[in-house]
């Protein structure tokens, strides 16, 4: 079976619970600071997963590899390759499909509900108003022709479907261990005071026992599309 390409942008923002749910080989690459990265050809892949990061999705001067990621994502949608894009990954996917990035449009950090507004075979496993982990300050518009799947007041586009690609602004890949890592990582938690960190930690203890198994079902459904491509 062809591998799933996982594009990461920070050592602490790996695929989390996504990778084991795929039941497929995984190839992890970090290319954001490479001006001309050699990414695998689409016919060598069964799917693509794009993770989060602290940089702006359009910061090609600071991180020239982002342009190559966007080109790959646009080509993947055209070729009907399964794509799962999370947080920065969703913003890159949106830009690749012609949407606009909105910088600093409303910071959301911590657990809170999203309103699911349309059916989707992957996202649907989370329920109609799941409480999920948010960790972003930028957002992206809805690409032309894409289906809006989830929304919050602060971030109107929390999830969308564009053909073979699913974008999620929030972080269902996170489990307790990954959350602890984020709360101990300066790049992630610098803007949080000690009380805010403890609130996020306590909310994780409350919500992750329900969220993690639901997310694993969602990722397994994505894995079915990956295995169907073979």
Active site residues: 87, 171, 173
For residue 161, the number of C-alpha atoms closer than 13 Å in the C-beta half-sphere is 16
For residue 194, CA distances in Å to 3, 83, 143, 154, 200 come to 41, 36, 38, 24, 10
Helices 176-183/194-229 angle, 10° precision: 130
Tell me if 73 sits within 8 A of 154, measured CB to CB.
Answer: no
- Tokens read off for 63: 């991180």
Q: Which of 142, 19, 27, 135 is nearest to 87 (CA)?
A: 135
Question: Which residues neighbour 27 within 8 Å (Cβ) at sequence distance 6 or greater?
Answer: 3, 4, 5, 6, 40
Task: Give Cβ neighbours of residue 224 (< 8 Å, ≥ 6 apart).
Answer: none
Tokens of 100: 């606009």
Number of neighbouring beta carbons within 10 Å of residue 77:
19
Nearest CA to 84 out of 212, 215, 214 is that of 215
């Amino acid at each position: 079976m062809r591998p799933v390409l996982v594009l990461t942008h920070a050592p602490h923002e790996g695929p989390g619970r996504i990778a084991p749910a795929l039941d497929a080989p995984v190839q992890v690459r970090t290319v954001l600071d490479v001006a001309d990265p050699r990414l695998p050809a689409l016919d060598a892949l069964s799917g693509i997963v794009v993770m989060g990061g602290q940089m702006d999705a359009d910061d090609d001067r600071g991180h020239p590899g982002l342009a190559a990621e966007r080109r790959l994502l646009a080509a993947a949608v055209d070729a009907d390759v399964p794509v799962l894009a999370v947080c920065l990954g969703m913003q890159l996917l949106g830009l690749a499909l012609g949407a606009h990035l909105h910088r600093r449009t409303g910071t959301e950090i911590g657990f809170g509900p999203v309103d699911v507004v349309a059916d989707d075979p992957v996202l649907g496993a989370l329920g109609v108003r799941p409480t999920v982990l948010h960790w972003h300050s930028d957002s992206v518009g809805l690409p032309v022709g894409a289906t809006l799947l989830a929304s919050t007041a602060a971030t109107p586009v929390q999830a969308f479907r564009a053909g073979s690609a699913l974008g999620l602004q929030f972080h269902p890949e996170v489990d307790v261990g990954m959350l602890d890592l984020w709360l101990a990582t300066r790049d992630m938690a610098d803007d949080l005071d000690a009380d805010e960190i403890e609130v996020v930690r306590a909310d994780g203890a409350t919500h992750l026992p329900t969220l993690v198994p639901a997310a694993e079902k969602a990722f397994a459904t994505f894995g079915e599309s990956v295995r169907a491509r073979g």
